[in-house]
Amino acid sequence: MALFLFNTLSGKKEAFKPLHDSSVKFFVCGQTVYDDAHIGHAKAYIDFDVIIRWLRNSGYSVKYVQNITDVDDKIIIRAKETGIQPMELARHYEKRFMEDMEAIGVKQGVDEYPRSHDFIEEIRQQIQLLLDKGYAYIIEGDVYFDVKKFKDYTKLSHMKIEELEKHRIEPKEGKKNVYDFALWKMAKEGEPSWKISVKSNGKAVELNGRPGWHIEDTAMTWKIFGEQYDIHGGARELVFPHHSNEIAQAEAAFGKKPFVKYWLHCGVLTVDGVKMSKSLKNFITIRDVLKMYDAEVLRLLILSTHYRKAVDYTEELAKAANKKLNAMYEALSSFYSMKVSATAQEGDRDLLLKSKQYIEEFADSMDNDFNTPLALSKLTAFLGYMRAFAESNGSVGSKARDAAFDAVDRTANRVLGILMKEEYKRGASHDVESLIAQREAARKTKDFKKADEIRKTLKERYNVILEDTDTGVKWHRA
């Protein structure tokens, strides 16, 4: 089966065909680094990580770029609150963001993380092109994009132009249309700013300020990819105005259509049914989750829903994902502990066949607009088969055994980024062993409170029950 993906631009599922051969230029809107990343960010980045992995797995050579917004109102506001310089604040949160992305297995697949402040010259050039072509105008030190001049403005959002007036508007006296957006903003006291010079109506104009949010993406992709590229991804809420503005800027400036061939948008993440916000105190960072659960639990939780759909995060959902992941490892563990024979065994033929079938079913699921919940159900069924196989067969031939593990590697490990830990081969996970050792140490120093906490953690996180015997501590899974 060929790969089909849902393109927001056409509003349809389309067969995927890159602009040039098998190389794919892929851009995803990245982080504005003013605070720690939350699990809503994790959803978007994990969704796109798996999409990228699948494209690479399918033989495409993908260049994956994700921007870092380090010039932005939110950063400036936060910097004022904390008394730290905006750039220093941005670098601090960027570093933490990279640590988070590495921990959840995303950073490893990103080729480049360009920062907005490094593209001021490309931004200036783009503003100049838009001024020359009559799409941009200057009011005092601000530069705006004249939305009415760009006829295709609503082709991505499929909205009516009148509807736009109700949405996020940047107020400014003298704007031609209320929904015109800023390409450049004049510097205010104490804000990071750059001096650029442009020509408008034959006159040189000095502008001291900073870029608007939307233009950094088109400046970066222009420099890195060129005037057109294959796929742009982001959260659904970015369709309008952010991505609509990107299309307007790029197509108006360069004259090439479409600016991006495929637009992919992922669903949002809510917590207990409501949008995350600091004021509601339901703001869960990636770091918070990783204190409780393994990164694979978070990946499994997110990938259990199709990327275009919304996820409602609850504690129960996280616990269920944790339990499910444990059961998957259990299946691998029991299959792993089977007696291995160099010669073919009775059940091998069926095992070989099932392994091959499973890989095909997994591929079909992913080729259908990256249907990870379906792919996961195929994985679960295959692991269930492996477990039953171990229970009903005395031994397995090494060739068939390798084929089954290879099937898991090619799907769960390389595409979904789960079941990567090899501890199951030892019967107990490394984490379990180290927690048991920590509890023993706590008991020796009579820190029974800590020992009890560890016992609780072992039960909740790993489903492990401890038994203190005369010969030492024994454990089993509940």
Residues that bind Zn ion (CB under 5 A): 29, 217
Pairing of strands 194-200, 260-266: unpaired
> Min. distance of Cβ 76 from Zn ion in angstroms?
18
> Min. distance of Cβ 156 from Zn ion in angstroms?
13
> Min. distance of Cβ 30 from Zn ion in angstroms?
7
> Min. distance of Cβ 29 from Zn ion in angstroms?
3
Looking at the Cβ atoms of 29 and 231, the one nearer to Zn ion is 29
Beta strands in 142-191 (DSSP E): 142-145, 181-186
d(CA 234, CA 265): 5
Residue 91 in tokens: 């670098």
- Axis-axis angle for helices 372-392, 398-408 (nearest 10): 160
Grouping H, G, I as helix, E, B as strand and the rest as coil, residue 425 is helix
Q: Tokens 């809420």 appear where?
A: 237
- CA distances for 100 relative to 97, 111, 150, 290, angstroms: 5, 17, 39, 9
> Min. distance of Cβ 262 from Zn ion in angstroms?
16
Looking at the Cβ atoms of 241 and 397, the one nearer to Zn ion is 241
Structural element, H or E, at residue 208:
strand 203-211
Looking at the Cβ atoms of 243 and 401, the one nearer to Zn ion is 243
d(CA 123, CA 142): 14
Looking at the Cβ atoms of 29 and 276, the one nearer to Zn ion is 29
d(CA 49, CA 201): 45
Q: Is the dihedral of CA 417, 102, 282, 78 positive or negative?
A: negative
Looking at the Cβ atoms of 49 and 217, the one nearer to Zn ion is 217
Looking at the Cβ atoms of 28 and 321, the one nearer to Zn ion is 28
Q: Taking the CB of residue 402, how many other CB atoms lie within 10 A of it?
A: 15
Looking at the Cβ atoms of 29 and 252, the one nearer to Zn ion is 29
> Min. distance of Cβ 217 from Zn ion in angstroms?
4
> Min. distance of Cβ 434 from Zn ion in angstroms?
41
> Min. distance of Cβ 148 from Zn ion in angstroms?
23
Structural element, H or E, at residue 439:
helix 430-444
Looking at the Cβ atoms of 217 and 230, the one nearer to Zn ion is 217
Looking at the Cβ atoms of 7 and 67, the one nearer to Zn ion is 67
Looking at the Cβ atoms of 192 and 212, the one nearer to Zn ion is 212
Taking CB atoms, the residue at the shortest distance from Zn ion is: 29
Residue 108 in tokens: 């490893």
Beta-carbon contacts of 78 under 8 Å, excluding residues fewer than 6 positions away, are: 34, 35, 89
> Min. distance of Cβ 313 from Zn ion in angstroms?
23
> Min. distance of Cβ 52 from Zn ion in angstroms?
17
Looking at the Cβ atoms of 219 and 375, the one nearer to Zn ion is 219
d(CA 39, CA 188): 33
> Min. distance of Cβ 49 from Zn ion in angstroms?
17
Q: Report the chain's C-alpha Rg in angstroms.
A: 26
Q: Tokens 């004021």 appear where?
A: 279
Write the DSSP string, 346-409.
Answer: TTHHHHHHHHHHHHHHHHHHHHBT--HHHHHHHHHHHHHHHHHHHHH-SEEEHHHHHHHHHHHI
The distance from CA 34 to its chain's CA centroid, rounded to whole angstroms, is 18
d(CA 478, CA 475): 9
